[in-house]
Structure 1
Amino acid sequence: MSVAPLLPIYFENGAGRILENASGRYLYLKWSANERDTETFRALLNHVARALVRHKWSKVLAIQQVMQPLNEEELNWMLQEWLPHAMHEAGYRHGAIVLPHQVDARLTTSQLTNKAQQQAMNYQTFEEETEAATWLMHQPD
């Protein structure tokens, strides 16, 4: 269940869906439990960056509870290509992540957040969506 009213779906594919939380001024990214291919994975994240630019927002609430683990190619692409672009071109600064249930997925999320914070990205992880949304709403725009 979402914490605040959400607008209609901005984008959706087999990897997940993106919704726009106008009252909180953040994107709501809900990962699916589906297996992903490279094209679907990248398309979802590229739409996150486009939506951040469109709204001039800097925050994303990522619900990863049922997400499959990131593979090495996905992790490297996110860290080396997508994240630098999202930070510098799209203004991405704050990410609240609701952790996956799967241990392997938690490990890859941990790798991502640790390396991303070295790039000055502000990520926090949470067990509950309510806590994540509250933290995110208190971050500067």
Structure 2
Amino acid sequence: MKARIHPAAPVALVWNFTPETSGWPALAAACKEAGLELRQVGSAEAGVNVGRLCGIPGSSDAALLLHLEPDAYPPALILYGLTEPALDRLLAALRGSGVHLPLKAVVTPTNQKWPLCELLAELTAERQALENPGS
């Protein structure tokens, strides 16, 4: 009998964006429509691998022991398990609702191995490079 690995359910991780944030209801509705589990991640999970946070089978249990301040990085949305058309619909719904999440990423085979803090740092650096191309 062969073991079957079931893929993780689609998930949306959000950093520094809470139910008290004005765009939360629209984000929650868009995620529900897309079939995504909406999950807040906080400073205590900053050293955990992105794949583990998404529930991807085989992801490492190892975690860095660190603690980030909640405002260490801007609000971020990290998506796993969406098809490209579903991703396009979700992003359009968020734009149409005025939800502002400055950092966005899709989980890839490479970044799923990174600690959350590393992904947030990379996204922040990329955003700064785009906003200040001559710097």
Normalized against structure 2, the TM-score is what? 0.33
Normalized against structure 1, the TM-score is what? 0.32
Q: Which has the higher contact order (CA 8 A, sep 6+)?
A: 2
* Structure index of larger Rg: 2
Point out the structure with the larger strand share. 1
